[in-house]
């Protein structure tokens, strides 16, 4: 299985993805952890991330997926699934299914934890993204 930084497209996508785009070129320690990730290819109908998975997070590189039975198609490079569940030690509550050929970058729990320890600025990016996601859903507590 190819590691993350062996694929020039993946290296470029990870740097361009909103969550990784802030990492400076000299972030060798961060990229060393990312190299432990894996590129996975999926065909239409394949499970990119299965409901109840609590060991993996995936970052979309190419193609489109549907998150949940009634979710809208997602095709934005850098979109990710399972990250917040890994951080919260919870299982994913929906299947993420390939709508055609998909290429994704996968991180295991230990690798994501090491990445967050190695790249503290990534923690702030994830918190900011989480806040935007919650606010876009207009979650209110009365």
Residue 46's pLDDT is: 96
Residue 42's pLDDT is: 95
Residue 99's pLDDT is: 95
Residue 135's pLDDT is: 85
To the nearest 10°, report the CA torsion of 35, 25, 133, 40: -30
Q: Tell me which of 3.40.50.1370, 3.40.50.2300, 2.60.120.10, 1.10.3450.40 is the CATH number of domain 4-136.
A: 2.60.120.10
Can you list the residues of the chain whose pLDDT is less than 70? 1-7, 9-10, 12-18, 21-26, 138-142
Beta strand pairing call for 102-108 and 56-62: antiparallel
- pLDDT tens, 56-96? 888 887 899 999 888 888 888 788 898 888 888 888 899 99
From 32, 1, 17, 24, select the one nearest 117 (Cα to Cα).
Answer: 32
Cβ contacts of 106 within 8 Å, gap of 6 or more = 37, 38, 39, 40, 56, 57, 58, 59
Residue 142's pLDDT is: 40
Residue 4's pLDDT is: 56
> Would you list the domain boundaries of the chain?
4-136
Angle subtended by helix axes 120-136 and 109-118, to nearest 10 = 110
Give the other-Cβ count within 10 Å of 83's Cβ.
Answer: 19
Residue 141's pLDDT is: 45
Residue 34's pLDDT is: 78
Coil, strand or helix at 37: coil
Residue 5's pLDDT is: 60
């Amino acid at each position: 299985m190819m590691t993350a930084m062996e694929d020039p497209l993946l290296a470029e996508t990870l740097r361009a993805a909103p969550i990784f785009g802030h990492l400076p070129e000299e972030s060798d320690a961060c990229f060393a952890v990312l190299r432990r990730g894996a590129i996975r290819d999926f065909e239409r109908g394949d499970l990119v991330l299965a409901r109840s998975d609590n060991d993996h997070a995936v970052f979309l590189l190419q193609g489109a997926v549907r998150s949940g039975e009634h979710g809208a198609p997602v095709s934005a490079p850098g979109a990710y699934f399972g990250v917040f569940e890994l951080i919260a030690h919870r299982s994913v509550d929906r299947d993420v299914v390939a709508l055609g050929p998909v290429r994704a970058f996968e991180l295991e729990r230990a690798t994501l934890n090491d990445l967050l320890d190695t790249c503290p600025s990534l923690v702030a990016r994830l918190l900011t993204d989480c806040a935007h996601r919650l606010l876009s859903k207009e979650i209110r507590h009365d």
